[in-house]
């Protein structure tokens, strides 16, 4: 059943045969089969052309992570102040009920179930299955814990759900993370996916999140990849957006030596809208790869996507933004922009917008740029006495901050601005020129 020695080694060490629930046994078997049959990506595999997987090839990262715990104190550093979220904690892919908020005290209109005893798994893998990478198949095949989060019809939930994923194991291992988020019609809710790591951790996180946004529902979604560089992450967010629904997603990828995120948003009903914005800031030898795809399957839907990246040192970024407008998807409005700043001679970015249009009455705009900082803006700051070095820091931060400031959730904005400013400040005295708490 396995196609390469690597697959064999991985299969032996993982839990391909222990299904979480019989309800999804068929789905899991199919995924296991697909995983085994899919050739390991090489430089000739288009979807992985610029993203070498060498780090994974020794196979040691495929040993399933053991269940471990962290003290409440150790988790404190990852808190997002003022978010006042309902928090669910996963450590190395395992759900930690004792560190999470009490599942019996959920916001009204929300239910959370374990995959094992979920009442309705009809949509499980429905969005991901169609577009999954081979790692997605692995996730589906080997999944042992996952949460199904349901938002009831008409429920307007203001309290965000914060799924905190902590990478903590200090020897290479595999953490599968999986969320199934289902919003019934006319509901409104916010999901924050927060990926972090503890010191010395070396975890390969293989994550899948499926978002089902029902008719007229609104979903606000944040996905923050803040793991340290010793960790690896390959993940995907697969969404179905139904009639008149709205999905508003924001992605941030700061670190990790290998970070790959596939974002596939599919419109399932007319009049729907999706915003997928994102920021990536690799440095040192980090690699960040965003592969996004908007599936305009039906007419009258709008999609908007802005991704910006600053790539420093010897880091690399890959951005592949696909817009697929199907034959019936007339009156589609689709916009995509990707802007990159390279701050070192050794930094590299490969960006590729990809349009595939089969309808004839659509408006579609796309653009990708790789540039240096705006010379005129630089000059303007210098004529005000600001040094070239500090102006560079301010403009780099501004380039990213422009997207951060547009976020709807102010607690997230307040959380991210200092995190990003720290990344750019270079010198402590510059930090004040980026975010000055006393200036209000």
Tell me the Cα Rg of the chain.
Answer: 21
In the complex, the smallest distance separating the C-beta of residue 400 from other proteins, rounded to whole angstroms, is 7
For residues 99-110, b (16+ Cβ closer than 10 Å) or e, as one string? bbbebeebeebb
Closer by beta carbon to other proteins, 192 or else 394: 394
Of residues 230 and 431, the one with the C-beta less far from other proteins? 431
The H or E element spanning position 152 is none
Provide the minimum distance between the beta carbon of 256 and other proteins in the complex, in angstroms, as a whole number.
Answer: 25
Residue 401 · residue 417 · CB < 8 Å = yes
Nearest distance in Å: CB 386, other proteins: 5
Identify which of residues 6 and 435 has a Cβ nearer to other proteins in the complex. 435
Shortest reach from residue 381's CB to other proteins, in Å: 7
Closer to other proteins by Cβ: residue 130 or 432: 432
Shortest distance (Å) from residue 178 CB to other proteins: 35
Tell me which residue of 121, 168, 170, 127 sits closest to 19, measured CA to CA.
Answer: 121
What span, in angstroms and rounded, lies between the C-alpha atoms of 390 and 430?
Answer: 7
Min CB(277)–other proteins separation in Å: 14
Nearer to other proteins, 63 or 386 (CB): 386
- Report CA-CA distances (Å) from 266 to 128, 209, 255: 11, 14, 28
Q: How far is the CB of 437 from other proteins (least distance, A)?
A: 8
Nearer of residues 109 and 398 to other proteins, judged by Cβ: 398
Listed in sequence order, the residues at least 6 apart from 58 whose beta carbon sits closer than 8 Å to its beta carbon are: none
Supply the minimum distance, in Å, between the C-beta of residue 323 and other proteins: 25
Phi, psi of 174, deg, nearest 5: -110, 125
Question: CA 287, CA 158: separation in Å to the nearest integer?
Answer: 35
Q: How many CB atoms lie within 10 A of CB 344?
A: 12
Contact 115, 146 (CB under 8 A): yes
Residue 130 or 402: the one with the smaller Cβ distance to other proteins is 402
Rounded to the nearest 5°, which phi and psi values hold at 438? Answer: -80, -15
320 burial type by CB count under 10 A (0-12 exposed, 13-18 middle, 19+ buried): buried
Nearer to other proteins by C-beta: 226 or 386?
386
Q: How far is the CB of 435 from other proteins (least distance, A)?
A: 7
Query: Which residues lie across from 221 on neighbouring strands?
Result: 191, 249
CB of 385 to other proteins, least distance (A): 4
Q: Render the burial of 64-83: b for 16+ CB within 10 Å, e for the rest.
A: bbeeeebeeeebeebebeeb
**Would you tell me which residues interact with other proteins (CB under 8 A)?**
374-377, 379-388, 390, 394-395, 397-402, 405, 432-436, 438-440
Burial class (CB in 10 A: 0-12, 13-18, 19+), 196: buried
> Between residues 156 and 388, which has the closer beta carbon with respect to other proteins?
388
Residue with tokens 């969005």: 127
- Smallest Cα–Cα separation from 125: which of 275, 236, 282? 236
Q: Is the CB of 356 or the CB of 374 nearer to other proteins?
A: 374
In angstroms, what is the minimal distance from the CB of 291 to other proteins? 26
Distance CA 226, CA 282 (A): 11
Q: In this structure, what token pair is assigned to residue 202?
A: 């070396």
Looking at the Cβ atoms of 328 and 374, the one nearer to other proteins is 374
């Amino acid at each position: 059943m396995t196609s390469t020695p690597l697959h064999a080694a991985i299969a032996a060490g993982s839990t391909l045969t222990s299904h979480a629930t019989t309800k999804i046994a068929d789905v899991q078997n199919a995924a296991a089969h697909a995983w085994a049959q899919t050739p390991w990506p090489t430089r000739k595999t288009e979807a992985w052309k610029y993203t070498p997987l060498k780090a994974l090839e020794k196979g040691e990262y495929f040993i399933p992570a053991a269940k471990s715990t962290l003290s409440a104190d150790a988790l404190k550093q990852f808190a997002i102040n003022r978010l006042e979220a309902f928090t669910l904690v996963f450590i190395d892919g395992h759900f930690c009920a004792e560190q999470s908020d009490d599942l019996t005290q959920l916001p009204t209109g929300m239910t959370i179930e374990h995959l094992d005893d979920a009442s309705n798994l009809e949509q499980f893998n429905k969005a991901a299955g169609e577009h999954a990478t081979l790692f997605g198949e692995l996730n589906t095949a080997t999944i042992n814990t996952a949460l199904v989060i349901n938002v009831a019809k008409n429920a307007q939930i203001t309290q965000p759900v914060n799924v905190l994923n902590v990478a903590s194991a200090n020897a290479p291992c595999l953490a599968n993370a999986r969320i199934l988020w289902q919003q019934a019609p006319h509901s409104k809710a916010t999901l924050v996916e927060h990926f972090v790591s503890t010191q010395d951790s070396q975890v390969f996180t293989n994550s899948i999140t499926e978002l089902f946004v029902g008719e007229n529902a609104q979903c606000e979604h944040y996905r923050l990849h803040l793991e340290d560089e010793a960790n690896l992450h390959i993940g995907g967010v697969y969404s179905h957006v139904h009639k008149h629904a709205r999905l508003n997603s924001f992605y941030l990828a700061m670190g990790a030596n290998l970070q790959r995120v596939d974002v596939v948003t599919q419109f399932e009903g007319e009049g729907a809208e999706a915003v997928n914005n994102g920021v990536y800031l690799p440095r040192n030898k980090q690699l960040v790869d965003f592969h996004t795809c908007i599936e305009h399957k039906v007419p009258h839907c709008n999609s908007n996507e802005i991704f910006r990246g600053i790539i420093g040192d010897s880091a690399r970024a890959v951005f592949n933004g696909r817009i697929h407008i199907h034959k019936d998807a007339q009156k589609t409005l689709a916009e995509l922009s990707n802007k990159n700043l390279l701050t070192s001679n050794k930094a590299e970015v490969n960006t590729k917008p990809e349009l595939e249009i089969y309808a004839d009455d659509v408006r579609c705009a796309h653009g990708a740029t790789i540039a240096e900082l705006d010379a005129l803006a630089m000059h303007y700051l210098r004529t005000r006495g600001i040094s070239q070095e500090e102006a560079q820091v301010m403009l780099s931060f501004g380039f990213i901050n422009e997207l951060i400031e547009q976020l709807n959730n102010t607690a997230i904005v307040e959380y991210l601005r200092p995190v990003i400013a720290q990344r750019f400040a270079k010198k402590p005295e510059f930090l004040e020129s980026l975010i000055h708490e006393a200036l209000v």
